């Protein structure tokens, strides 16, 4: 027999309040409706649960046993409601952020710190990988926030411009191009070993498009899986690269890398925030989105 929880609630309220009239006031329904509901419930369970009298009602032995379980059941119900309210809010939970490597390492740590101080109960989970993989994680519901370095073309994915990012040609201070007194001829770049990110990287796509526009085709190209590795190789004198200016502030300050101006070469890319069409954002996602757009 499956208990009718609505009728169980009517019975429990009458039993705890001691009268049908007080239960009606508490539940904001009519006394006849409660009386009928309790009678129907007694018929459902097959026994009398309340003794009615001129001084109110008292639970029978069966009613007392059922009331004990009802109290436990409704306590669990309240706990579930409270937990859902917290999860719908910003008291606890997890915010899963996926970001392309450059964004994850150099651009969002500040925002992560601000968010954590404001909402310490929210656990932050950060995934750093290339644009293609971030898109897959978003579509498969494995992350809530997706920030990437290149445009994405997926039927169910919406791309919204987040911010602009300048990219520059870098070299070691000892590199021959570092001694140029003015912006260099693009043809000189083609003669160098060019160090680029791997296929699937948004940075690689933007840089490749810029080189094509300038008709620059490097004679030697080396693929590397991270911007940090690219900077180390360039600093060692192995070649040149085009990277986000946001990634080289420390190396510029300590003199291990320099920017090489190139005639008519200006690379500015749009960084994107991805979302899935029709998916509802949770409160933590909404709060983080507001933060990164201040």
Interval 217-233: pLDDT, tens: 998 999 998 889 999 99
Q: Which of 32-41, 84-93, 164-173 has the lowest mean pLDDT?
A: 84-93
Mean of the pLDDT values across residues 266-292?
A: 91
Interval 169-217: pLDDT, tens: 999 999 999 988 899 999 999 999 999 998 877 788 889 988 998 889 9
pLDDT-based confidence at residue 54 (cuts at 50, 70, 90): confident
Is the pLDDT reported for residue 42 higher than 90? yes
State the pLDDT at residue 91: 81
Q: How far is CA 140 from CA 156, 186, 273, 276, 289, in A?
A: 11, 42, 16, 10, 20
Is the pLDDT reported for residue 277 higher than 90? no
Residues in the chain: 294
Quote the percentage of the chain above a pLDDT of 70: 98
State the pLDDT at residue 131: 86
Q: What is the C-alpha to C-alpha distance for residues 103 and 134, in angstroms, rounded to an integer?
A: 12
Which residues, 6 or more positions from 178, have their beta carbon under 8 angstroms from its beta carbon? Answer: 171, 172, 258, 260
* Residues facing residue 267 across a β-bridge: 167
Q: What is the C-alpha to C-alpha distance for residues 206 and 198, in angstroms, rounded to an integer?
A: 12
Q: Model's pTM, two decimal places?
A: 0.65
Q: What is the C-alpha to C-alpha distance for residues 123 and 50, in angstroms, rounded to an integer?
A: 49
DSSP structure string for 164-217: EEEEEEEE-TTSGGGG-SSPBPHHHHHTSEEEEEPTT-HHHHHHHHHHHHTT--
Is the pLDDT reported for residue 84 higher than 80? no
Shortest CA distance to 142 belongs to which of 126, 155, 157, 130? 126
Q: What is the C-alpha to C-alpha distance for residues 260 and 189, in angstroms, rounded to an integer?
A: 10
Mean of the pLDDT values across residues 12-34?
A: 93
State the pLDDT at residue 124: 96
Domains of the chain: 5-88 (1.10.10.10), 93-161+271-292 (3.40.190.10), 164-269 (3.40.190.10)
Mean of the pLDDT values across residues 130-157?
A: 89
Quote the percentage of the chain above a pLDDT of 90: 68
State the pLDDT at residue 162: 94
Is the pLDDT reported for residue 32 higher than 90? yes
State the pLDDT at residue 265: 87
CA angle at 173 for the pair 218 and 197, rounded to the nearest 5°: 40
Q: What is the C-alpha to C-alpha distance for residues 195 and 213, in angstroms, rounded to an integer?
A: 18
Q: What is the C-alpha to C-alpha distance for residues 183 and 264, in angstroms, rounded to an integer?
A: 9
Contact between residue 250 and residue 128 where contact means Cβ atoms under 8 Å apart: no
Contact between residue 263 and residue 177 where contact means Cβ atoms under 8 Å apart: no
State the pLDDT at residue 115: 96
Is the pLDDT reported for residue 141 higher than 90? no
Is the pLDDT reported for residue 86 higher than 90? no
Q: What is the C-alpha to C-alpha distance for residues 73 and 87, in angstroms, rounded to an integer?
A: 21
Is the pLDDT reported for residue 87 higher than 70? no
What are residue 246's phi and psi, to 5 degrees?
A: -65, -20
What are residue 120's phi and psi, to 5 degrees?
A: -65, -20
């Amino acid at each position: 027999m499956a208990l009718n929880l609505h009728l169980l609630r009517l019975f429990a309220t009458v039993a705890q309040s001691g009268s049908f009239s007080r239960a009606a006031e508490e539940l904001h329904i009519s006394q006849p409706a409660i009386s009928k509901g309790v009678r129907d419930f007694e018929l459902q369970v097959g026994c009398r649960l309340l003794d009615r009298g001129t001084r109110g009602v008292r639970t029978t032995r069966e009613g007392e046993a059922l009331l004990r379980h009802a109290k436990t059941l409704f306590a669990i119900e309240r706990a579930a409601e409270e937990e859902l309210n917290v999860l719908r809010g910003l008291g606890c939970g997890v915010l899963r952020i996926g970001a392309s490597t450059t964004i994850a390492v150099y651009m969002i740590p500040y925002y992560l710190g601000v968010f954590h101080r404001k909402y310490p109960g929210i656990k932050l989970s950060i995934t750093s990988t290339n644009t293609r993989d971030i898109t897959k994680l978003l579509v498969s519901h494995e992350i809530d926030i997706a920030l990437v370095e290149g445009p994405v073309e997926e039927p169910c994915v919406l791309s919204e411009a987040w911010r602009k990012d300048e990219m520059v040609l870098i070299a070691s201070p000892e590199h021959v191009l570092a001694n140029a007194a003015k912006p260099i001829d693009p043809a000189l770049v083609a003669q160098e070993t060019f160090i680029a990110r791997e296929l699937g990287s948004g940075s690689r796509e933007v840089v490749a498009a810029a080189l094509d526009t300038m008709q620059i085709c490097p004679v030697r190209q080396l693929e590397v899986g991270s911007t940090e590795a690219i900077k180390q190789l360039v600093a060692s004198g192995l070649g040149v690269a085009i990277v986000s200016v946001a990634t080289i502030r420390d190396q510029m300050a300590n003199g291990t890398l320099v920017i090489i101006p190139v005639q008519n070469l200006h690379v500015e890319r749009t960084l994107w925030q991805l979302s899935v069409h029709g998916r509802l954002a949770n409160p933590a996602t909404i709060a983080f989105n507001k933060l990164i757009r201040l």
